[in-house]
A = this chain, B = another copy of it.
Amino acid sequence: MSVVKVGLLGLGVVGGGVWKVLQSNDSEIARRAGRRIEVTAVAVRDVDKARRLVGDRARIVQDGMEVVRDPDIDIVVELVGGDTLARQWVLEAIEQGKHVVTANKALLAKHGNEIFAAAHRKGVMVTYEAAVAGGIPIIKAIREGLTANRIQWLAGIINGTTNFILSEMRTRSLTFDAALADAQRLGYAEADPTFDIEGVDAAHKLTLLASLAFGIPVQFDKAHIEGISRLAQEDIGHAERLGYRIKLLGITKRGADGIELRVHPTLVPSQCLLANVEGAMNAVLVNGDVVGPTLYYGQGAGELPTASAVVADLVDVTRLAAAEPEHRVPYLAFQQDAMVDIPILPIKDVHSSFYVRLRVEDRPGVLADLSRILADCDISIGSMFQEPYGVDQADIIFLSHDASEGAVDRAMDIIRTLPFVKSDLTRLRVENLP
């Protein structure tokens, strides 16, 4: 049985996980792959720390370029993160004719087109199952499991940190700040949580999923991104009363005029499966024209779940190494020469239902005025309720039917200026998912 030789760039949480899994499940993996998969070289900053884990079972160096240019290495696994060194090393590995496995969503969301084009020229594979939704084989499902389908849309909980925070806010009635502090204490959020809570990490992943679903180039810069840091506790309660839960979703849809690509807090029906994905778990709902809705659920982060995806990629690459490059599984699910450049819609052209909350003076005529403005802007109301606030004010909460962002912008601009409106307007999107 021949051995596949792997060079590992990075031996942090995920890199360490990959090393451990390749040791502990060595024979189970070889029983499946038909070959042993062996890490023969590791590039790390801290050689001594790496030595304690790896012993003398692999060569340990500090410069990634040494691993990438090692003629003995078949596959380079990039787990250093960031997009400077990672980009240089990945491009050089490709140039050296090596296959690449990476978990780096930021790198691919920003430089994927360049990297895949280079790999295509050299006839090597670049796989990245671990870059989206950790251990869930969602990329494989879209890229290979649903190849019969015109994919119409997908919506996913693809950031565990924010889902954990939202679960805490709902089940324990915590404010955002308190839930974030909890998440940090428990290791679900980093000291600087900006990337997660502002939706940037989810948007990196969504960018890749959209390309896989529709066969378009990666276009992170066109994603509309809103995080959860300004979400008020009371909106979670109001949503629940209306039969919804609030989740940070990545949503991408193909319409007649273009593709929607957006990350934002979203009201979803309480009984749908995505609404019931709690804690740090991830799930992606994919709708194909042939198969209908399918859902994929599991741990979206962490040492071992992420390592599970990296190692699965190693097995895949091992299997397809000898296949004809032009018929291998394509980088973004579609053959490189079959990519299309469907435009990404600006957010103002996106349609959805809306949840709106505002505080008003509690006097006759207020509802009539509001309703008139909404109707004039072509927005119709699905449900509405009012809650007294103090002695002479009230909170009004309503759900609209389908409306364009542009129309809602216009209505909000008018409403904001009305003399009886006593608060800023809170506005969230609603998706009536199956």
Question: Which residues of A line the B interface, CB within 8 A?
Answer: 21, 25, 28-35, 129, 134-137, 140-141, 144-150, 215, 271, 273, 276-277, 283, 288-299, 304-305, 307-312, 315-316, 318-324, 326-330, 333-335, 338
Contact of A140 among B140, B273, B311, B319 (CB under 8 A): B140
The distance from the CB of A212 to the nearest CB of chain B, in whole angstroms, is 10
A260 vs B393: C-alpha distance when bound (angstroms) = 63
The answer to whether B150 touches A28 (Cβ under 8 A) is: yes
23 CB < 8 A contacts A-B: A21-B148, A25-B150, A25-B289, A29-B147, A31-B334, A31-B335, A32-B330, A33-B327, A34-B326, A134-B291, A141-B145, A146-B308, A148-B308, A290-B304, A290-B308, A292-B299, A294-B299, A295-B297, A297-B297, A318-B327, A319-B320, A320-B323, A322-B327
Contact of A290 among B141, B305, B320 (CB under 8 A): B305
What residues on B are CB-neighbors of A137 within 8 Å?
A: 140-141, 144-146, 294
Known: A148-B25, A149-B308, A322-B324. Is A291-B298 also a contact (CB below 8 A)? yes
A140 vs B333: C-alpha distance when bound (angstroms) = 15
The distance from the CB of A31 to the nearest CB of chain B, in whole angstroms, is 4
Listed from nearest, the 7 A-B pairs whose CB atoms lie closest are A137-B145, A148-B311, A294-B298, A135-B291, A31-B338, A291-B308, A295-B297
The answer to whether A290 touches B215 (Cβ under 8 A) is: no
Give the copy number.
2
What residues on B are CB-neighbors of A296 within 8 Å?
A: 141, 294-297
What residues on B are CB-neighbors of A150 within 8 Å?
A: 25, 28
The answer to whether B326 touches A323 (Cβ under 8 A) is: no
Report which residue of A137, A277, A316, A329 has the largest number of chain B beta carbons within 10 angstroms of its beta carbon: A137
A11 vs B221: C-alpha distance when bound (angstroms) = 47
The distance from the CB of A60 to the nearest CB of chain B, in whole angstroms, is 23
A135 vs B296: C-alpha distance when bound (angstroms) = 13
Contact of A294 among B32, B129, B136 (CB under 8 A): B136
Residue of B nearest to A288 (CB): B308
The distance from the CB of A330 to the nearest CB of chain B, in whole angstroms, is 7
Contact of A312 among B34, B35, B148 (CB under 8 A): B148
The answer to whether A298 touches B290 (Cβ under 8 A) is: no
A310 vs B149: C-alpha distance when bound (angstroms) = 11
The distance from the CB of A313 to the nearest CB of chain B, in whole angstroms, is 9
The answer to whether B297 touches A333 (Cβ under 8 A) is: no
The answer to whether B144 touches A140 (Cβ under 8 A) is: yes
A340 vs B30: C-alpha distance when bound (angstroms) = 14
* Other contacts beyond A129-B145, A290-B308, A319-B323: 6, CB < 8 A: A28-B150, A29-B148, A32-B147, A141-B145, A295-B296, A319-B327
Residue of B nearest to A434 (CB): B281
The distance from the CB of A119 to the nearest CB of chain B, in whole angstroms, is 15
A261 vs B115: C-alpha distance when bound (angstroms) = 46
The answer to whether A333 touches B32 (Cβ under 8 A) is: yes
The answer to whether B319 touches A304 (Cβ under 8 A) is: no
The answer to whether B290 touches A34 (Cβ under 8 A) is: no
What residues on B are CB-neighbors of A149 within 8 Å?
A: 25, 28, 308
A272 vs B296: C-alpha distance when bound (angstroms) = 15
The answer to whether A293 touches B304 (Cβ under 8 A) is: no
Contact of A292 among B298, B329, B334 (CB under 8 A): B298
What residues on B are CB-neighbors of A141 within 8 Å?
A: 137, 140-141, 145, 296
Contact of A297 among B34, B288, B294, B305 (CB under 8 A): B294
What residues on B are CB-neighbors of A321 within 8 Å?
A: 327
A103 vs B290: C-alpha distance when bound (angstroms) = 16
The distance from the CB of A303 to the nearest CB of chain B, in whole angstroms, is 9
The distance from the CB of A138 to the nearest CB of chain B, in whole angstroms, is 9
A21 vs B149: C-alpha distance when bound (angstroms) = 8
Residue of B nearest to A149 (CB): B308
Contact of A144 among B288, B294, B305, B312 (CB under 8 A): B312
Contact of A147 among B288, B315, B326 (CB under 8 A): B315
